Structure formats: C-alpha cells, structure tokens
Amino acid sequence: MTSSKYLPLITTIAVFVLAYLICIAQFPSMWSTRVIGNLLTDNAFLGITAVGMTFVILSGGIDLSVGSVIAFTGVFLAVLLQNTSIHPLFAFVLALMITTAFGAFMGAVIHYLEMPAFIVTLAGMFLARGVSFLLSTQSVPINHPFYATLQHLYFKMPGGGRLTLIGITMLVVFLVGSIVAQRTRFGANVYALGGNIQSAELMGVPVGRTTIGIYAVSGFLAGLSGIVFSLYTSAGYSLSASGVELDAIAAVVIGGTLLSGGSGFIAGTLIGIFIQGLIQTYIVFDGTLSSWWTKIVIGLLLFGFIALQRGILWMSEHGSVSFRKKAAA
C-alpha cells in the first residue's frame, strides 16, 4: 500500500523530468535559469491557489470560487489604492481578511446546510466575479511606489534568470502547505475527512471545524494569489483569472492527488504546475503550434492520470481480494 501511495507522485515527477528532457533536446536554450525563473514567476499565482485547492480536494471537496476571488482581490486592491491613501500592506491585510472570511463562510454553508461543495462554491464563484464587476468593469492600473519596490525585489541567478519575490512566495507557500498537511493535527484531519467522513466522525475528527478551516485556507490562499496576480500585472481587472480554478484542479490531479480525496501530496501539485508551465513554454519556443495545444495536452494528461488512479485502486482491491481468498483456502 505504501508503494501505491507514492506511485502517482513518482509518475508525475517522471513525466516532468522526461518532458523537460524532450524540451531541452529540441530547444537547448530551454535549459537556462531564465526559463526556470519564468516557470516560478509566471505560475506563482496559479501555484499558490493550487495549494489551497489541494487541501480542498484532499478532503474530498472542490472549490470553484478561487479564480473569481483572485480577480476580486485584484480589483479590490486596485480600487482601494486608487481612491484612498492607505498603504498597500494594510490593503493586503484587508483583502486577505475578506477572502478568508468568504472561504470560511462557504465552508460553514457546506457543513451546516449539508450542501455539495460544488454548488456552494459555484455560487461563490458568481458572487465574487459579480462583486468585482460592481467595483470596476475596466482594468484599473496600480501605480503605487510600494508595488514598484516589491516588483524589483529579485535575486539574479547566473545566466540572467530572475528569482522574483512572487516566485519565492509560491515556494514558501508550498513548503508551509506540505508541513501543515504532513505534520499537523489539521493536516491529518483533512486526510481523514477525504478518506471517509463517517469513520472520521467516529474517530473524533471535528468535521465542522475542519471543513470551515479547509475552505478558509483556500480562500486565504486565493486572496494571496490575487495579491501576487496584482503584483504580476500591476493592475486589477474583473475579467482576469477566469478559468484559473480549472487549471488549479488540473494541476492537483496531475500532481497525483486522488479527486475523491484522502490521498495525495502538496509537493505533487507543484510538479503539476510545472508540467503545465512547461507545455506553455514549449509552445512559445516552437512558435508555430496553436496555443490551444496546451489545453489538449493537459486534457490528455488528466485522462492518463485518472486512468492511473483507477488502476492503482483496482490493483489494491484486487490484491486484497486474492489475499483474502488465499487466507480462506
């Protein structure tokens, strides 16, 4: 069982390494610190929210609201910084408080009203997108000097690549996320919820508190992702980040987390993000392929990984059945 637990993660890493080798074979310049720096910077917002999504999916849920929450956070920050003179850091805290509370609220609805997460977060998705349109329908630029300062915080790697603040933020979020998932009571509860909610309840897992906590974490990270996105584009736009929730779900599944919950790793999601970023980079380097190939390849990979998960499940069931038969004989 332990080997099959790690099998999806190992497959993901193998796919990534192989894909990168193929890319380098065709375009040697893809082996550069610039490309690696870009992978981190360009996917920072997606990665951060995908950590939240991993927690949600590990618990057997889903959060469709994150893309809209990212857009909301961006517009909220842009409008706030344009119309008031408060410091961006204070605006960040405000935005994070709102998005965390929003996530917690959705968690509470899911738990107490016993509604499917799909429906509740779908409502949340419309709500957050609608509110951002209410704030502004146009792209609002952010010209605060503090933003410029943050954008110019980076380490220059040998070869011209940049390790930016937002790239580092993503790595830190993944690190903290992994520790929380593997080493804390909350993390253990998340896995227990995803395994089987009834037995988790019997084992004394505080289901309500954990559910609210999970969606609060997802809301918080979506808010953080929105801050990172606003740093990335120096603007808030209500149409931005549409479909990010689906990219995040794809990254989680490609990263080896079981969609039905209970099994998977935060680190796998990081590789899932890198695989998506790598495909996009490859297509730009090639320069003749339609960019829609990104979606096609991601779709194929998703199918592959779902089949793999089914296979592992089938193998472990099959294995235990034959074992029982042997024992009976």
Q: Is the Cβ of residue 104 or residue 250 nearer to another protein in the bound state?
A: 250
11-15: long-range contacts at Cβ-Cβ below 8 A with a sequence spacing of 24 or more?
A: 11/256, 11/305, 11/308, 12/254, 12/255, 12/256, 12/268, 12/271, 12/272, 12/275, 12/305, 13/271, 15/275, 15/301
The stretch among 89-97, 252-260, 262-270, 276-284 that binds another protein (CB under 8 A) is 276-284
User: Can you tell me which of 55, 72, 191, 232 binds another protein, judged by CB under 8 A?
Assistant: 232
Q: Does 153 bind another protein (CB under 8 A)?
A: no
- Among 291, 316, 320, 322, the residue binding another protein under the rule CB under 8 A is 291
Our finding on whether 130 is near another protein (CB under 8 A) is no
Q: Which listed range, 31-39, 126-134, 200-208, 264-272, lies at the site for another protein (CB under 8 A)?
A: 31-39
Size of the site for another protein (CB under 8 A): 42
Query: Does 136 engage in binding with another protein (CB under 8 A)?
Result: no
**189 interacts with another protein by CB under 8 A:** no
- Least separation, in Å, of the C-beta of 12 and another protein? 18
- Burial letters for 9-44: b for 16+ Cβ neighbours within 10 Å, e otherwise? bebbbebbeebbeebeeeeeebebeebbbbbbbbbb
User: Do 320 and 327 meet the contact criterion of CB atoms below 8 Å apart?
Assistant: no
Please, are residues 63 and 245 in contact by the beta-carbon 8 Å criterion?
yes
235 touching another protein, by CB under 8 A: yes
d(CA 124, CA 206): 24
Give the single-character DSSP code of 253: H
| Closest alpha carbon to 155 in 51, 44, 40 | 40
| Residue of 128, 132, 137 lying closest to 106 (CA atoms) | 128
CB of 244 to another protein, least distance (A): 9
Q: Which two tokens stand for residue 134?
A: 């209410």
Kindly tell me which residue out of 292, 326, 327, 329 binds another protein, with binding defined by CB under 8 A. Answer: 292
Residue 111 corresponds to which tokens in the numbers above? Answer: 């738990």
> Is residue 315 a contact point for another protein (CB under 8 A)?
no
Q: Under rule CB under 8 A, which residues in 53-92 are in contact with another protein?
A: none
Binding status of residue 286 toward another protein by CB under 8 A: yes
Nearer to another protein, 196 or 242 (CB): 242
Interaction between residue 225 and another protein (CB under 8 A): no
Specify whether the CB–CB gap between 161 and 36 falls below 8 A.
yes
What is the rounded distance in angstroms from the CA atom of residue 55 to the CA atom of residue 50?
9
- Residues contributing to the site for another protein (CB under 8 A): 21, 24-30, 32, 34-35, 38, 41-42, 45, 139-141, 151, 160-162, 229, 232-235, 237, 240-242, 280-281, 283-288, 290-292
